[in-house]
Amino acid sequence: MRKLLRFILILLCFSPAAWAQQGYKPSESNLKAREHFKDMKFGLFIHWGIYSTLGDGEWVMDTRKIPYNDYKRLADFFNPQAFNAKEWVDLAKRAGMKYITVTSRHHDGFSMFDTKQSDYNIVKATPYKRDPMKELAEECQKQGIELRFYYSLLDWGRADYAFKSPIVNGVPEKGDWNSYINFMKAQLTELITNYPGVKGIWFDGHWDRKNANWHYDEIYGLIHKLGPDIMIGNNHHLAPIPGEDFQAFEKDLPGNNKTGFSGDAKIGDLPLETCETMNGSWGFNINDRNYKSVKELVHYLVNAAGLDANFLLNVGPMPNGKIQPEFVDTLGKIGAWIDKNGETIYGTRGYLVKAQAWGTVTAKGKTVYAHVLNPVKDGNQIVIPDFKFKPKSVTAFNGGAKLKYKKDKSGLIVYIDQLPADEIDRIVKITY
């Protein structure tokens, strides 16, 4: 029995929650930011770093087994002369996106911003010498787009991180864990204080050291002290831990686990966000032509909204700073869809009913939108189960044709023969 108790105690001490920001009570401004976040629904994820020069994704150092000191030389060739922050923000806006989350530092440890904490950064180590994060932050402010920073906890190269060193009692055997934690805290302070209007920090890499003491109490505490409304998310693939403000999912709608990342990610009660790639890669990959169609990506957005989750759609810009034309084209088409149908997405909340074989449901106030995304097997009708309200009107969202309906114990049955054909999404608008 004593042995068991000791085992449970050890487990508790080494669970991430033990080092989280215990007792965290989000500020009023943070709660407001969360609601705003849920309203925005659609964001642009950007994976950009010196790895883009090799055109083989952001893990290229690992996949091609490039020794760190050789990989570092990529900085010498990274000179994105064609980078234009306005073009990126224009593109996000045109696509109907309301926020941008960009990699300030990925697992290769290269800082894409001007930092005093390491010379391995875009201003000091590349011929480019400019700070694209500053330009992006300023442009986002100008155009009213929120900016969030992706920040990797994992570092493949720093001596104090000591990649691959076994973890004993919460710290790596080699390296200098305190020094690494302090380094991150100093960088995060820079990112929050030197860049205007930063609204979120998106952590990644926890999974590299599941048993380490990441000092989230200090890290999350510091971020919330510097900016109480800054929303923290951590792609640890677990249920949320105290101090976090949104729950991130990767390549899966909340509740699914098709990619194997979300097995332990029990859905909590924070705002949700899921991210996905436009082809199969996060960082620029010159060989990846596995482009998702406009229809697939709009469906992802709509299905996410139906589950009350935001959709963070990724591009990996090229080493010259441009976003590849295939992505620009698809994003433009998604934007055209949103121009027409945005009312059924922005500011809505999901979960009115769970996803159905025919599609999903979003809702705003006393208006419900049924998105018929899939072929309807049982003839010309859809059923919205558990529909508790008395409808005032049931119409086609596009064109406004009145649709017949009836309520029975299965829910609200809507006859959709008058619903105009649409390749992507046939939307029924119901008010009550």
The distance of closest approach from Cβ of residue 59 to ligand FHN in the complex, given in angstroms and rounded to an integer, is: 6
- Phi/psi of residue 201, nearest 5 degrees: -120, 130
Q: How many helices (H) and strands (E) does the chain have?
A: 12, 17
Nearer to ligand FHN (CB atom), residue 47 or residue 199? 47
CB closer to ligand FHN, 153 vs 363:
153
Q: Is 166 exposed, middle or buried (0-12, 13-18, 19+ CB in 10 A)?
A: exposed
Q: What residues contact residue 127 under an 8 Å CB cut-off, 6+ apart?
A: 76, 78, 79
In the complex with ligand FHN, the residue whose CB is nearer, 78 or 358, is 78
Least distance between ligand FHN and beta carbon 203 (Å): 10
Tokens coding 173: 């055997």
- Shortest separation between residue 191's beta carbon and ligand FHN, angstroms: 17
Q: How do strand 42-46 and strand 309-315 relate by DSSP bridges?
A: parallel
Q: Which one, of 206, 194, 105, 92, lies nearest residue 146 by Cα? A: 92
Instruction: Tell me phi and psi for residue 268, to 5 degrees.
Output: -95, -160
Beta carbon nearer to ligand FHN, 59 or 346:
59
Closest to ligand FHN by CB, 204 vs 217, is 204
Parallel, antiparallel or unpaired: strands 367-372 and 359-364: antiparallel
Min dist. Cβ of residue 194 to ligand FHN (A)? 23
Instruction: Give the interface with ligand FHN as residue ranges (CB under 6 A).
Output: 47, 58-59, 204, 235, 250, 275, 282
- Strand 393-396: give its sheet, edge to edge: 359-364, 367-372, 426-431, 393-396
CB of 296 to ligand FHN, least distance (A): 18
Report, in Å, the least distance between residue 33 CB and ligand FHN: 21
Whichever of 126 and 235 has its CB closer to ligand FHN, that residue is: 235
With respect to ligand FHN, which residue has the nearer C-beta, 204 or 229? 204
Residue 351 φ/ψ region, left for φ over 0, alpha for ψ in the -120 to 50 degree band, beta for the rest: left
The residue whose two tokens read 């406004």 is 400
Shortest spacing between CB 255 and ligand FHN, in angstroms: 17
| CA-angle at 412, arms to 361 and 370, nearest 5° | 20
Residue nearest to ligand FHN (CB): 250
Of the two residues 95 and 275, which places its CB atom closer to ligand FHN in the complex? 275
Shortest Cβ distance from residue 183 to ligand FHN (Å)? Answer: 20
